[in-house]
Structures are given as structure tokens and as C-alpha cells.
């Protein structure tokens, strides 16, 4: 990669998506390693993934629901751009998988707002046979309550501007998505990052992305890397049935906070029988044909390919044997263990809330100067020793022999306080689930 002249803005890599193509894995590595990447000249503007989400919503002109308690995102894109332009970094990365849904006008605004920076567009892609089941699962995580076959009829057989098909093709029709960006960015600066096939080394996708932005992949710590939590067929089907029971009038922001973020992402994974959702055999021929068409369109457009276009074609050896759908017994078993996990979480939260109430009551009973001295002493050894000396003096004045005092404050639960018993008790209701 060519060096950026002194005084010039960073080269900007817009990682625009697509969903379900390893973006969560790459984003997790970028944010977990942001400090060390900064040492190698890579800026992650905004300071958090949430800032990129906020900026993307602003760029796409979305509006929050009237009762959504989350902060507004108006102006988020311009704030991110201002940080990029003020930076002396070599490279800046903006990453959010739904930027791929931007219209042609929004893509133009994004590129123009970053001028005179050199803008590159990075689009992650995967094979359709693996993508279709994963996207149905993602729809279910976002309140969709129809089964896989119904979803496939909408996406594959129905009009492309209607129902589930409208979003799917807006972010996954590679020629169409990249055409919206290549009108403003030359094709050699449009990069198609292919997702390796299952079984490939987990670090391969990161090695490709890091090489693209000019960073040695080895500088990143991969120990905290995570992919988007994938549900088994049983777990997805259970979630789908939960969606059918959700009050239709419940706002989406509340659904995301409780069902998506808690149930789907934290509670359900690992609770049901293993086994991914397979693409039905009668859909594989169509998926293969459509994949070949998209691969040829990428080649003819002259986009830079990072990886292997062959990875976008369905694996002929995968999905040969039919996989039966989960039975009611499978769903009941998964539901039972999920309920136990939720009860355990409720128990932990009740303990935490009780501890907060006790701390609040103690603060209300304690004079402010004494409270400040206590907090200071817990963070400063010199102040702690002064408190110990003061206690000794008070005891001597009272004529009482002081008992030996520790040199450091005792951790919670070790000094006879009312939380001592709670400190020794761990979760018990999820033990069976954890062994599954």
C-alpha cells in the first residue's frame, strides 16, 4: 500500500457488509485490538462499534421509534467523518454490515463527505447455500415468525421488492450493491472479500482483511475473537415460536433489547440439539446457478478480489443427506433448559440488585466526608494507612485494646458482611445446560 503524504487525510476503508459473511468476527477483532492497531497507523473513529451503528443509521436517514429510549443518531455520520479528517493516521476503518443497504444517493454522500480522502469499499461475501439458512436465522432473530420454506418462497420465488426479499437482495445482490458504490469509487478500489469455507483456519478471514488495510495480521490478539452467535435448527425453531407469541404491538426496540439481545444471543446458544439449518436439496441447483452469475459479474466489473471467488460457489459435497426438522420433543427439551438458564439469570440479577440497594442504604446513612474517605482509602494505600492509624488512636482514647487490623481493605464477602453467603454461592440451575 502506498504511503499517505504528510498532512493528507487517512485512506478510508468502508467495510459495508454484507450481513452473515464474517463481519461480526472482523469487527470484534478490530475493536478488541483498536489500541495496538492505532500504534500501526489504523484509526477506528468514534471509539466504539455503537458509534459506527449510530453513524450508519444517520447516513441511511433512519428515524427512531417515537418511544425508543436510545439516544438519537442525527449527525452521527458527520461526527465520524470529522474525526477521520482530523486524524494523522495512515488508515481509517468504518465498519457496519448494513451500510450495504445504502441507496445510490447515500453512497454518493458517504464518499463525497470523506473527500479528499482516498475511499475504498470492502464488501464481504459468502456462498449462497450457506448464506440462505443463516439469513433466515437472522430474520428470526429480528421477529420473523415464518418457517424456512415460507421465507425461501418470499426470497427466491417472490418479487424482489416485496416482503423478506426486499431486504435480502438489497444487501446480498453483489452486482447491484457494488454498482451503487462503484459509481463513486473506481473498481480497483472496490474489494470483494470472500468468506472462507467451513473448516478453514478461523484466522484466515482476518489475515485477508488485515492484508488489505496494510497491517501485519500477527499484531492482533485473536483470543477474544467471536463470531455472531449461531443457533442450531432446534434453537432457531424455538425462537420462531416465541416470536409467534410476542404481542404484535410490542415496539421493535423492546423486542431487540429482550428477545434478540438476551434470549437469542445469550440464552439460547447451546440449549438445543446441535445441527445447522440445511438448504433444501431442491433449492441447491438454483443457488449454484445464481452464484455463478454473481461471480461472473464480479469478474467482468474488474473489482479487486481478496480471497477466492470459488468460495462463493456452493460446495457440491455439502448438504447431500436430508436433515429432519426438530421434533416437538427436541423443542420441549430446549425450552426447559432455556427457562432454567433464564431463571438463573434472574437470580443473579436479584442478588446484584439487592447488593445495590444495600450500598445505596449505606450511603444514605453515612456522612459524605466519611464516605469520600472510605472510597479514597480503598484506592490509595497511604490513605488506608492513615485511616488505620486514626482507628487505633480512637480506640486508645476510649481505653479499648485495638484488635489487629488488616493492612488492606478486605474484599466484599470476607469480613462478616451480609453478602458473605452470597459470595460463596454460584449458579446452580444452569449446570445441566452447561454440560449439554
pLDDT in tens, 188-201: 999 999 999 988 99
| Same domain assignment for residues 352 and 308 | no
Nearest CA to 175 out of 22, 47, 283, 291 is that of 291
Residue 398: pLDDT above 90? no
- 134-138, 156-160, 296-300, 377-381: segment of lowest average pLDDT: 377-381
pLDDT tens-place string over residues 325-340? 899 999 999 999 999 9
Cell of 366: 453515612
CB atoms < 10 A from the CB of 157, how many?
A: 10
- State the distance between the two ends of the chain, measured CA to CA, in whole angstroms: 48
As a whole number, mean pLDDT of residues 411-429 equals 35
Domain limits for position 396: 338-434
Confidence of residue 120 (pLDDT cuts 50, 70, 90): very high
Residue 186: pLDDT above 60? yes
| Same domain assignment for residues 421 and 294 | no
* % of the chain beyond a pLDDT of 90: 69
303 DSSP 8-state letter: -
- 1-5, 128-132, 252-256, 350-354: segment of lowest average pLDDT: 1-5
User: How far apart are the C-alpha atoms of 272 and 339, rounded to whole Å?
Assistant: 12
pLDDT at 324: 85
Residue 34: pLDDT above 70? yes
Cell of 164: 423478506
Residue 427: pLDDT above 80? no
| The total number of residues written for the chain in this structure | 436
Residue 141 included in any domain: yes
pLDDT at 317: 64
Who wins on pLDDT, 390 or 294?
294
Exposure string for 387-423, b = 16+ CB within 10 A, e = fewer: bbeeeeeeeeeeeeeeeeeeeebeeeeeeeeebeeee
CB atoms < 10 A from the CB of 175, how many?
A: 15
As a whole number, mean pLDDT of residues 81-109 equals 97
As a whole number, mean pLDDT of residues 166-183 equals 97
pTM: 0.79
For the chain, how many helices (H) and strands (E)? 18, 6
User: Mean of the per-residue pLDDT values for the chain?
Assistant: 85
pLDDT at 434: 42
User: How far apart are the C-alpha atoms of 147 and 117, rounded to whole Å?
Assistant: 45
Residue 237 included in any domain: no
Tell me the DSSP string of 201-242. Answer: -TTHHHHHHHHHTT--GGGS--TT--PPPPPPHHHHHHHHHH
Residue 274 included in any domain: no
| Same domain assignment for residues 292 and 181 | yes
Residue 3: pLDDT above 80? no
Helix (H) or strand (E) holding 42: strand 42-43
CATH of residue 119's domain is 3.40.50.300
Total tally of structural domains belonging to the chain: 2
| Same domain assignment for residues 203 and 173 | yes
Q: Are 191 and 121 in contact (CB under 8 A)?
A: yes
| Same domain assignment for residues 359 and 307 | no
| Same domain assignment for residues 311 and 403 | no
Residue 253 included in any domain: no
pLDDT tens-place string over residues 351-364? 999 888 888 887 77
Residue 323: pLDDT above 90? no
Residue 89 included in any domain: yes
As a whole number, mean pLDDT of residues 400-415 equals 40
Confidence of residue 7 (pLDDT cuts 50, 70, 90): low
pLDDT at 424: 37
pLDDT at 207: 97
* Alpha helices, H only, 380-419: 381-398
Amino acid at each position: 500500500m502506498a504511503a499517505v503524504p504528510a498532512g493528507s487525510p487517512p485512506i478510508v476503508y468502508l467495510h459495508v457488509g454484507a450481513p452473515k459473511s464474517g463481519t461480526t468476527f472482523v469487527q470484534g477483532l478490530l475493536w478488541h485490538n483498536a489500541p495496538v492497531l492505532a500504534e500501526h497507523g489504523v484509526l477506528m473513529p468514534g471509539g466504539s462499534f455503537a458509534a459506527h451503528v449510530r453513524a450508519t443509521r444517520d447516513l441511511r436517514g433512519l428515524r427512531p421509534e417515537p418511544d425508543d429510549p436510545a439516544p438519537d443518531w442525527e449527525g452521527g455520520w458527520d461526527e465520524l467523518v470529522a474525526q477521520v479528517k482530523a486524524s494523522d493516521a495512515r488508515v481509517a476503518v468504518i465498519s457496519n454490515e448494513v451500510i450495504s443497504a445504502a441507496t445510490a444517493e447515500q453512497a454518493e454522500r458517504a464518499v463525497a463527505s470523506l473527500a479528499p480522502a482516498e475511499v475504498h469499499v470492502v464488501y464481504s461475501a459468502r456462498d449462497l447455500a450457506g448464506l440462505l439458512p443463516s439469513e433466515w436465522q437472522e430474520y428470526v432473530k429480528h421477529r420473523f415468525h415464518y418457517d424456512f420454506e415460507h421465507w425461501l418462497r418470499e426470497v427466491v420465488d417472490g418479487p424482489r421488492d416485496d416482503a423478506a426479499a426486499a431486504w435480502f437482495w438489497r444487501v446480498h445482490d453483489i452486482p447491484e450493491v457494488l454498482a451503487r458504490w462503484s459509481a463513486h469509487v473506481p473498481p480497483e478500489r472496490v474489494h470483494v472479500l470472500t468468506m472462507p469455507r467451513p473448516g478453514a483456519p478461523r484466522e484466515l478471514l482476518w489475515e485477508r482483511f488485515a492484508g488489505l488495510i496494510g497491517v501485519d495480521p500477527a499484531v492482533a490478539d485473536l483470543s477474544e475473537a467471536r463470531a455472531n452467535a449461531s443457533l442450531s435448527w432446534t434453537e432457531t425453531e424455538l425462537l420462531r415460536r416465541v416470536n409467534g407469541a410476542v404481542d404484535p404491538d410490542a415496539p421493535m426496540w423492546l423486542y431487540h433489547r429482550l428477545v434478540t439481545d438476551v434470549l437469542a444471543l445469550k440464552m439460547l446458544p447451546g440449549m438445543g440439539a446441535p445441527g445447522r439449518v440445511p438448504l433444501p436439496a431442491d433449492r441447491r441447483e438454483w443457488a449454484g446457478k445464481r452464484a455463478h452469475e454473481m461471480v461472473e459479474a464480479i469478474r467482468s466489473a474488474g473489482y479487486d478480489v481478496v480471497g477466492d471467488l470459488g468460495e462463493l460457489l456452493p460446495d457440491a459435497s455439502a448438504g447431500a443427506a436430508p436433515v429432519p426438522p426438530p421434533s416437538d420433543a427436541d423443542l420441549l427439551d430446549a425450552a426447559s433448559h432455556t427457562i432454567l438458564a433464564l431463571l438463573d439469570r434472574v437470580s443473579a440479577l436479584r442478588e446484584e440488585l439487592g447488593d445495590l440497594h444495600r450500598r445505596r442504604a449505606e450511603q444514605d446513612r453515612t456522612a459524605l466526608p466519611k464516605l469520600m474517605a472510605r472510597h479514597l482509602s480503598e484506592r490509595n494505600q497511604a490513605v488506608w494507612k492513615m485511616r488505620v492509624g486514626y482507628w487505633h488512636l480512637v480506640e486508645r482514647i476510649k481505653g479499648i485494646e485495638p484488635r489487629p487490623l488488616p493492612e488492606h481493605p478486605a474484599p466484599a464477602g470476607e469480613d462478616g458482611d451480609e453478602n458473605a453467603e452470597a459470595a460463596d454461592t454460584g449458579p446452580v440451575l444452569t449446570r445441566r445446560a452447561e454440560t449439554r
